[in-house]
Structure 1
């Protein structure tokens, strides 16, 4: 396992992270979650990502139970604030919700601080000065060590850094976008000036595009698969549709990727994960797994990176232009 700096900053996180959005499953099984997280830590994963919105806050609580057996200093834990509830001040990036949401997340996580707290989405209804000053307060008060953003545009990141400089506030160090072979534009083009100018890192989510890039859906949706279990999850469907959707064109591309993986003697998912990690701007790729065996298979992608030579990368990129 390689430990990468988050952009130019001193924080080091495992190149594969552990996510909790759909990981804990519909049953929210604490014992099974502990088993998976124990295996993740044993294999060098030190970065664990959650959010106040995941399973209505239960993901944070389950994560807290699973991480109790480890030293806090050995962990990098992140949460995200935006969707906190149904009240008028439980949504968005107002100072009130950012501070109260972070405090509530810490209670569920049973931690004094998180290493990273993200603004889970941009909020055009709130002045950037209010967002920046609230995040500055959260960091300076010790509730979080660093802050970042998720799915913000390059323009919004520029504005945030401008305000930070003007108000002498702590600046965001990391962005968390969706990034995979089917969803490339923002990470590979839009953010290019941001990396160099501000030294921001990336903790990317959905590196397998909800499992589509594993090849498991090449011949339909298997019973018990993620798309079967979470078929009524509007957010999941929206993210898949945004990255091209589960259509004939996408499946033809994945079948070609599977042929490349077969030629290399590895799994399709391992090639997709290794491809993401070949991008130097990626600090960590967040995994979503529901079984120990699935986690072990994904971790083997670290060995596949060396197999992705320039020629192999050209073949892959010609499929997913």
Structure 2
């Protein structure tokens, strides 16, 4: 396992991060989830990402239970706040001071820890003044409940504004957590250059495009039983943007490239995002322990310029790169 600094901070994280969105407390049983976490630890992963909204707080509890007994100082635990949780009342969502302060306490209790290494704004809250949000995050850090702060799916302008306020408040905003893969490159035009300038790193989610880049979805063929595309708890909705026969056909043409490198399709996809110098970590999920071992093998893989060019040629116009899609896919107002 290789490790990278998160932003300009002194914190290092494993470049493969284990995440439990859409799995723990939802798609897989708790025993299997625990086995996946143990497989991640055995493979050298030290960084774990979750959020209070995953399975409506249950995923944090499952992760906390799975990590119980591990040396806390040897782990980097990340969680997030914004989306509705609990009974979903008017203050059970967003980035108000009230919701942030109550949410961090709930997350720490469920995770079974006194602090998280990284506390992230899961989306931008247009209904709360940014000054209020950043002051609340700064207070969470000063209370010792989080060591660093980050954001997820914020635009370049939002990151710049949040970073400036955090600096003025004396706390470190060091990370951005966007979707990023061979097929979804919308952060490359604006978010990555802005973050590189500010000393903020990316911790990217969905590096295998919800499983599409594994090659298991063949154009014109029935969906594999039990796959993400058949999951009616949220997975099918997230993957649908890639479930186009023209896209799937191009993905299948990546297989010879992976074979020539001695990599699986999933390993090629994870290795690809890690070639970006602004990416500190790639979040992987798993519904089986063996998936963890496969994805971890992407750590340390170098793809030369010829391979990267070949990938671009194969995918062509199947790639989404419009930077405006970050804002377009974000909520325009607080979700209740």
**Residue 255 of structure 2, aligned match among 253, 258, 261:** 258
Partner of 1:9: 9
Alpha-carbon separation, structure 1, partners of 2:310 and 2:46: 33
Kept after mapping to 2: 8 A contact 1:4/1:284: yes
Look up the SS of the partner of 1:231 in the other structure.
Answer: coil
Alpha-carbon separation, structure 1, partners of 2:263 and 2:195: 32
Alpha-carbon separation, structure 2, partners of 1:184 and 1:27: 27
Shift of 1:155: 0.7
Shift of 1:224: 1.3
Structure 2 residue 10 is matched with structure 1 residue 18: no
Partner of 1:320: 315
Deviations 1:76-122 (A, max 9, x none): 00110012231110010001001101111111111100000100000
RMSD across aligned positions (CA): 1.6
Structure 2 residue 23 is matched with structure 1 residue 57: no
Which sits farther off after the overlay, 43-52 or 24-33?
Answer: 24-33
Normalised by the length of structure 2, the TM-score is: 0.88
Structure 2 residue 116 is matched with structure 1 residue 114: yes
Alpha-carbon separation, structure 1, partners of 2:298 and 2:312: 18
How do 1:109-148 residues align onto structure 2 when only pairs under 5 Å count? Answer: 109-148=111-150
Look up the SS of the partner of 1:185 in the other structure.
Answer: coil
Alpha-carbon separation, structure 2, partners of 1:34 and 1:200: 31
Look up the SS of the partner of 1:173 in the other structure.
Answer: strand
Shift of 1:163: 2.6
Partner of 1:240: 239
Structure 2 residue 148 is matched with structure 1 residue 149: no
Change in 2 beyond 3 A, CA 1:32/1:67: same
Give the number of the structure with larger relative contact order, counting CA–CA contacts within 8 Å between residues 6 or more apart: 2
Kept after mapping to 2: 8 A contact 1:25/1:290: no
Kept after mapping to 2: 8 A contact 1:133/1:169: no
Alpha-carbon separation, structure 2, partners of 1:298 and 1:159: 35
Shift of 1:238: 5.0
Shift of 1:65: 0.8
Kept after mapping to 2: 8 A contact 1:7/1:200: yes
**Residue 227 of structure 2, aligned match among 225, 228, 239:** 225
Aligned residues between the structures: 312
Partner of 1:269: 266
Which sits farther off after the overlay, 34-43 or 97-106?
Answer: 34-43
Structure 2 residue 117 is matched with structure 1 residue 78: no
Alpha-carbon separation, structure 2, partners of 1:220 and 1:13: 39
Look up the SS of the partner of 2:107 in the other structure.
Answer: helix
Structure 2 residue 178 is matched with structure 1 residue 182: no
Alpha-carbon separation, structure 2, partners of 1:164 and 1:58: 30
**Residue 290 of structure 1, aligned match among 281, 284, 287:** 287
Deviations 1:28-76 (A, max 9, x none): 5222222211111111100000100001111111111110121000100
Deviations 1:167-214 (A, max 9, x none): 43414110000000111021x111243233310011110001110000
Unaligned 5+ segments in structure 1 are none
Partner of 1:203: 203
Partner of 2:99: 97
Alpha-carbon separation, structure 2, partners of 1:48 and 1:35: 14
Kept after mapping to 1: 8 A contact 2:228/2:236: no
Partner of 2:331: none
Look up the SS of the partner of 2:181 in the other structure.
Answer: coil
Normalised by the length of structure 1, the TM-score is: 0.92
Look up the SS of the partner of 1:80 in the other structure.
Answer: strand
